[in-house]
Structure 1
Amino acid sequence: MGKKLEFPQEFLWGGATAATQIEGAYDVDGKSLSIMEMIPFVELEDRKDLSKTRNLTMQSFLDSIENKKGLHYPKRFGNDFYHRYKEDIRLFKEAGLKIFRMSIAWTRIFPNGDEKEPNQKGLEFYRNVFEECKKQGLEVMVTMNHFDTPFPIIQNYNGWKNREVIDMYLKYAKVIIDEFNQYVKYWLPFNEINLGVLFSAIATGEEDASKSFVEKLAATYQELHHQFIAQAKVVEYSKKYEHIKIGCMVADTTTYPLDCNPINVLENQQKEQMKKFFYYDVMIKGEYPSYSKRFFKEIGVNLEMASGDLEILKNNPVEFITFSYYMSSTISKEMGELTEGNLMRLGKNPFLKATDWGWQIDPLGLRYTLNQLWDRYQVPLFISENGIGVLEKLNANNTVEDDYRIDYLGQHFEQMSEAIKDGVDLFGYTMWTPIDVVSAGSNEFSKRYGMIFVDYDDYHNGTGDRYLKKSYHWFKNFMETKEI
Structure 2
Amino acid sequence: MIKKSFPNNFLWGGAIAANQAEGGYNEGNKGLSVQDTVRYNKNLNRKDLSTVKKFSSETIKQALQEKDNLESYPKRRGIEFYKYYKEDIALFKEMGFKVFRLSIAWSRIFPNGDELEPNEEGLAFYDQVFDELQKQDIEPLVTISHFEMPLGLVEEYGGWQNRKLIEFYVRYAKVLFNRYKDKVKHWITFNEINAVNFTPFTSSGLVKDRIENYQQATFQAAHHQFVASALAVQEARKIISDVKIGCMIARFTTYPATPKPEDIMQMTHDDQYKNFFFTDVQVRGYYPSYMNRYFIENNITIEKVEGDNSILKKGTVDFVAFSYYMSMISSANPEHLEQTAGNLVGGIKNPYLEASDWGWQIDPIGLRYSLNQLYDRYQKPLFIVENGIGAIDKLEPNEEIHDSYRIDYFKKHIEQMREAIIDGVDLMGYTMWSPIDIISSGTSEMSKRYGFIYVDQNDDGSGTLKRYRKDSFYWYKKVIESNGEQLD
**CA deviation map 1:99-126 (0-9, x unaligned):** 0000011110000112121100000000
Aligned AA (1:428) = G
Contact 2:321/2:382 (<8 A) preserved: yes
Q: Distance in 2 between matches of 1:283 and 1:268?
A: 22
Cα displacement (A) at 1:289:
0.4
Residues 1:405 and 2:406 are matched in the alignment:
yes
The equivalent of 1:457 in structure 2 is 458
Residues 1:426 and 2:427 are matched in the alignment:
yes
**CA deviation map 1:138-173 (0-9, x unaligned):** 001000000011001100111111111110110000
The equivalent of 2:347 in structure 1 is 346
**CA deviation map 1:267-289 (0-9, x unaligned):** 11011111101111000011110
Aligned AA (1:120) = E
Contact 1:48/1:339 (<8 A) preserved: no
Q: Distance in 2 between matches of 1:407 and 1:471?
A: 9
RMSD over aligned Cα, in angstroms? 1.4
Contact 1:48/1:356 (<8 A) preserved: no
- When structure 1 is superposed on structure 2, of 441-450 and 201-210 the one drifting more is 201-210
The equivalent of 2:110 in structure 1 is 110
Cα displacement (A) at 1:210:
7.1
**CA deviation map 1:67-116 (0-9, x unaligned):** 18956100000011000100000000100111000001111000011212
Q: Distance in 2 between matches of 1:34 and 1:475?
A: 33
Secondary structure of the corresponding residue to residue 28 of structure 1: coil
Secondary structure of the corresponding residue to residue 464 of structure 2: coil
When normalised by structure 1's length, the TM-score is: 0.97
Contact 2:51/2:443 (<8 A) preserved: no
Q: Distance in 2 between matches of 1:170 and 1:426?
A: 29
- The aligned runs of 1:364-443 (5 Å cut-off) are 364-443=365-444
The equivalent of 1:228 in structure 2 is 226
Q: Taking structure 1 as reference, are residues 136 and 69 closer, same or farther at Cα in structure 2, changes over 3 Å only?
A: closer
- The aligned runs of 1:82-93 (5 Å cut-off) are 82-93=82-93
**CA deviation map 1:279-314 (0-9, x unaligned):** 110000111101111100111100110110011101
The equivalent of 2:254 in structure 1 is 255
The equivalent of 2:270 in structure 1 is 271
Cα displacement (A) at 1:459:
1.0
Cα displacement (A) at 1:197:
1.7
The equivalent of 1:294 in structure 2 is 293
- Equivalent pairs: percent with the same residue? 49
Q: Distance in 1 between matches of 2:237 and 2:160?
A: 25
Residues 1:205 and 2:205 are matched in the alignment:
yes
**CA deviation map 1:326-376 (0-9, x unaligned):** 000111011121111111111110000111111000000000000000001
**CA deviation map 1:381-416 (0-9, x unaligned):** 000000000011201121210000000011001000
The equivalent of 1:130 in structure 2 is 130
Q: Distance in 2 between matches of 1:68 and 1:174?
A: 30
Residues 1:121 and 2:121 are matched in the alignment:
yes
Q: Distance in 2 between matches of 1:245 and 1:43?
A: 42
Q: Distance in 2 between matches of 1:52 and 1:276?
A: 23
Cα displacement (A) at 1:48:
3.1
Contact 2:160/2:206 (<8 A) preserved: no
Give ranges in structure 2 of 5+ residues lacking alignment: none
When normalised by structure 2's length, the TM-score is: 0.96
Q: Distance in 1 between matches of 2:255 and 2:224?
A: 31
* Pairs aligned (count): 478
Q: Distance in 1 between matches of 2:196 and 2:224?
A: 11
Aligned AA (2:243) = I
Cα displacement (A) at 1:209:
3.3
Contact 2:52/2:199 (<8 A) preserved: no
Residues 1:479 and 2:480 are matched in the alignment:
yes
Q: Taking structure 1 as reference, are residues 9 and 78 closer, same or farther at Cα in structure 2, changes over 3 Å only?
A: same
Secondary structure of the corresponding residue to residue 311 of structure 1: helix
Contact 1:42/1:53 (<8 A) preserved: no
Cα displacement (A) at 1:196:
1.2
The equivalent of 1:38 in structure 2 is 37
Contact 1:47/1:356 (<8 A) preserved: no
Q: Distance in 2 between matches of 1:193 and 1:339?
A: 23
Contact 2:38/2:51 (<8 A) preserved: no
Residues 1:243 and 2:242 are matched in the alignment:
yes
Give ranges in structure 1 of 5+ residues lacking alignment: none
Cα displacement (A) at 1:16:
0.2
Cα displacement (A) at 1:53:
5.1
Contact 1:339/1:347 (<8 A) preserved: yes
Aligned AA (1:421) = I
- When structure 1 is superposed on structure 2, of 313-322 and 391-400 the one drifting more is 391-400
Secondary structure of the corresponding residue to residue 209 of structure 2: coil
Cα displacement (A) at 1:207:
2.2
Q: Taking structure 1 as reference, are residues 261 and 50 closer, same or farther at Cα in structure 2, changes over 3 Å only?
A: farther
Q: Distance in 1 between matches of 2:220 and 2:92?
A: 39
Residues 1:307 and 2:306 are matched in the alignment:
yes
Secondary structure of the corresponding residue to residue 144 of structure 1: strand
Secondary structure of the corresponding residue to residue 301 of structure 2: coil
Q: Taking structure 1 as reference, are residues 52 and 12 closer, same or farther at Cα in structure 2, changes over 3 Å only?
A: closer
Contact 1:49/1:340 (<8 A) preserved: no
Aligned AA (2:275) = K
